[in-house]
């Protein structure tokens, strides 16, 4: 493969991956490609930004930048049906954790791909359970879905990235919703140690032990 073709192929792969997750980081891209250092990944993301294909979100001091596709980038990826992803300062750490978790899950489960919120909202909303709220039942979307390829070779696995403790009653309702749905094979919560105990209590109260497991964050 000629150099220009190789560059174009790698850019297409990058855009497809960013479309599937919504927001990506250089560290996660490097890990996905087996690189020890993120320098090359950072350069590729910066080049895509200069080409108008990606937007960089530098929202937290000392934290890695997050990259999302622009409308032009979505067109180049062939994903016009997806909405533009945006990252807030409040959600930046969570978005980065989702990207890191997606890479770890795909590495641990070959033949699977992890998709994020934009693709879940567009293509998999029917898999998400309704959860009661003050204004009536609302669809609860997981942070990631782990899909066996080719989909639907098997039911997907829902993945929740829980960095902070939710209100106990809200968490119980979400766990109960997951316990009752049969549209996913099961649910994986990935959480730091400080969040595990209240999460375990919510799973117990929701009688969801057979449907939900907790794993540490990568």
Digit-coded pLDDT (tens) for 126-157: 999 989 887 878 899 999 999 998 888 899 99
Same domain? 152 vs 68:
no
Same domain? 63 vs 145:
no
Is the backbone of residue 52 left (phi > 0), alpha (psi -120 to 50) or beta? left
pLDDT value, residue 1: 54
Same domain? 82 vs 153:
no
CA distance 141 to 126: 10
Identify the H or E element spanning 67: strand 66-69
Q: Which residue has the higher pLDDT, 183 or 2?
A: 183
Q: Using the structure block, give the residue that is written with the tokens 């829980």.
A: 162
CA distance 17 to 133: 33
What's the rounded mean pLDDT across residues 67-74? 98
Other beta carbons less than 10 A from residue 104's beta carbon: 18
Query: What's the total number of domains in the chain?
Result: 2
Please check the confidence at residue 2 and state whether its pLDDT lies above 80: no
Domain assignment present for 119 = no
Closest CA to 159 of 129, 123, 186, 197: 186
Angle at 110 between CA 108 and CA 112, to 5 degrees: 100
Average pLDDT, the chain: 94
Instruction: Supply the pTM of this predicted model.
Output: 0.94
19, 69 Cβ separation under 8 angstroms? yes
Domain assignment present for 75 = yes
Domain assignment present for 32 = yes
CA distance 79 to 213: 32
Please check the confidence at residue 45 and state whether its pLDDT lies above 80: yes
Please check the confidence at residue 29 and state whether its pLDDT lies above 80: yes
Residues 102/190/142/17 CA torsion (nearest 10 deg) = -10
Distance of CA 48 to the CA centre of its chain: 21
Tell me which residue range forms the domain holding 161: 124-218
pLDDT value, residue 152: 84
Domain assignment present for 92 = no
Same domain? 75 vs 161:
no
> Which of 62, 87, 112 corresponds to the end of one domain?
87
What's the rounded mean pLDDT across residues 209-215? 97
pLDDT value, residue 140: 93
Q: What is the DSSP string of 145-168?
A: EEEETTTTSS--EEEEE--SPPPH
Same domain? 137 vs 184:
yes
Domain assignment present for 182 = yes
Domain assignment present for 7 = yes
Residues 199/203/206/207 CA torsion (nearest 10 deg) = -170
Please check the confidence at residue 179 and state whether its pLDDT lies above 80: yes
Domain assignment present for 116 = no
């Amino acid at each position: 493969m000629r150099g220009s073709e190789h560059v174009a192929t790698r850019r297409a792969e990058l855009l497809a991956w960013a479309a599937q997750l919504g927001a990506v980081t250089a560290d996660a891209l490097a890990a996905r490609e087996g690189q020890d250092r993120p320098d090359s990944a950072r350069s590729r993301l910066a080049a895509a930004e200069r080409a108008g294909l990606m937007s960089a979100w530098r929202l937290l001091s000392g934290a890695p930048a997050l990259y999302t596709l622009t409308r032009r980038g979505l067109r180049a990826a062939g994903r016009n049906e997806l909405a533009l992803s945006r990252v807030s300062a409040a959600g930046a750490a969570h978005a980065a954790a989702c990207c890191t978790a997606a890479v770890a899950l795909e590495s641990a489960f070959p033949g699977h791909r992890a998709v994020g919120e934009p693709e879940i909202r567009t293509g998999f909303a029917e898999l998400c359970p309704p959860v009661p709220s003050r204004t009536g039942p609302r669809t609860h979307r997981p942070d990631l879905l782990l899909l066996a390829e080719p989909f639907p070779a098997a039911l997907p696995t829902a993945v929740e990235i829980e960095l902070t403790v939710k209100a106990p009653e809200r968490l119980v309702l979400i766990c109960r919703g997951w316990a009752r749905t049969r549209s996913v094979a099961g649910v994986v919560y990935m959480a730091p140690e400080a969040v595990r105990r209240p999460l375990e209590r919510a799973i117990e109260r929701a009688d969801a032990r057979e449907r939900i497991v907790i794993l540490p964050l990568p």
